[in-house]
Amino acid sequence: VTTATINLRSDMPVQTVEVMGSDHTIVNAARVSFLNDNAYTSRGLTPKDKGLINFLMREKHMSPFEHPVMTFRIEAPIFVWREFMRHRTFSYNEQSGRYTTFQPDFYCIPPERPVIQSGKPGDYHFEPSVLVNDSARVELKESYKDSWAAYQRMLDSGVAKEVARMALPVATYSTAYVTGNLRNWFQFLTLRTASQAQWEIQQVATDIEGEVYTHFPTAYSAYKEYQ
């Protein structure tokens, strides 16, 4: 049945699926150099352990940070995934637009999202404007309704999902798993929490940053100090 009912969202949920390792993993990986990898995992880090993590980060001895691994399940619009998937060292699995029908979920800027861009490439800044934000939201909504209606009409008339999806905008939500080691999550955070990164991927990166901090507090502090 053709319908123009669509769902406007601006949330981009980040769910931690799995975490392998802890700050101890980094310490033990570094200490195997001297066969001092005691594999203590139940006690807290000693001041020496913390000093070692700081030393490794400061001196850019980054390979011990490659042993812990984090997997996230993220729902985000396709334009965010375009940026995310430039990070080539992660492993990805994404929902299929050939095998499943998309939900009528489209990203729409929240009222607080600055929309007026000034400056030059590489040196942009954004200014808020309630009026311009409101009119952009209306434009986005109307175009999503048209796209969704075309998608539905094509599916109703027997067009394959992989063809009908061509009508959908990059604001369509898609879900994927992303797995990477801690070193690469730090690299991702550096690039994508920065103010030059697009506002939407900054929101996703900030949520991931919270998870990194929760699971690897010492490594995260060292990263913030020496990045």
Ligand X SMILES: Cc1cc2nc3c(=O)[nH]c(=O)nc-3n(C[C@H](O)[C@H](O)[C@H](O)COP(=O)(O)OP(=O)(O)OC[C@H]3O[C@@H](n4cnc5c(N)ncnc54)[C@H](O)[C@@H]3O)c2cc1C
Could you confirm whether 192 is annotated as catalytic?
Answer: yes
Asked if 113 is part of the footprint of ligand X (rule: CB under 6 A), the reply reads no
Asked if 82 is part of the footprint of ligand X (rule: CB under 6 A), the reply reads no
Asked if 46 is part of the footprint of ligand X (rule: CB under 6 A), the reply reads no
Pick the binder of ligand X from 97, 191, 211, 213 (CB under 6 A): 191
Beta strands in the chain (DSSP E): 7-9, 14-20, 69-77, 91-94, 105-107, 116-120, 123-127, 173-181
Residue pair 171/107 in contact (Cβ under 8 Å)? The answer is yes
Pick the piece of the chain touching ligand X (CB under 6 A) from 11-19, 53-61, 86-94, 171-179: 86-94
Pick the binder of ligand X from 9, 31, 73, 87 (CB under 6 A): 87
Q: Which is nearer to ligand X, 78 or 191 (CB)?
A: 191
Judged by CB under 6 A, how many residues of this single chain contact ligand X? 9
Reading the block at residue 42, the tokens are 């139940």
Residue pair 150/80 in contact (Cβ under 8 Å)? The answer is no
Q: How many other CB atoms sit within 10 Å of the CB of residue 221?
A: 16
C-alpha 222/C-alpha 56 separation (Å) is 9
Asked if 86 is part of the footprint of ligand X (rule: CB under 6 A), the reply reads yes
Burial profile 173-212: b = 16 or more Cβ within 10 angstroms, e = fewer: bbbbbbbbbbbbbbbbbeebbeeebeebbebbbeebbebb
Cβ contacts of residue 47 below 8 Å, gap of 6+? none
Q: Which is nearer to ligand X, 43 or 88 (CB)?
A: 88
CB of 135 to ligand X, least distance (A): 26
Pick the binder of ligand X from 43, 48, 60, 88 (CB under 6 A): 88
Asked if 196 is part of the footprint of ligand X (rule: CB under 6 A), the reply reads yes
Asked if 125 is part of the footprint of ligand X (rule: CB under 6 A), the reply reads no
Q: Which is nearer to ligand X, 61 or 86 (CB)?
A: 86
Asked if 184 is part of the footprint of ligand X (rule: CB under 6 A), the reply reads yes
Reading the block at residue 130, the tokens are 């309630």
Asked if 62 is part of the footprint of ligand X (rule: CB under 6 A), the reply reads no
Q: How does DSSP classify residue 18?
A: E
Active-site annotation holder among 137, 165, 183, 192: 192
C-alpha 73/C-alpha 1 separation (Å) is 31
Pick the piece of the chain touching ligand X (CB under 6 A) from 24-32, 99-107, 162-170, 183-191: 183-191
Residues with catalytic function: 192
Q: Which residues bind ligand X (CB under 6 A)?
A: 86-89, 184, 187, 191, 196-197
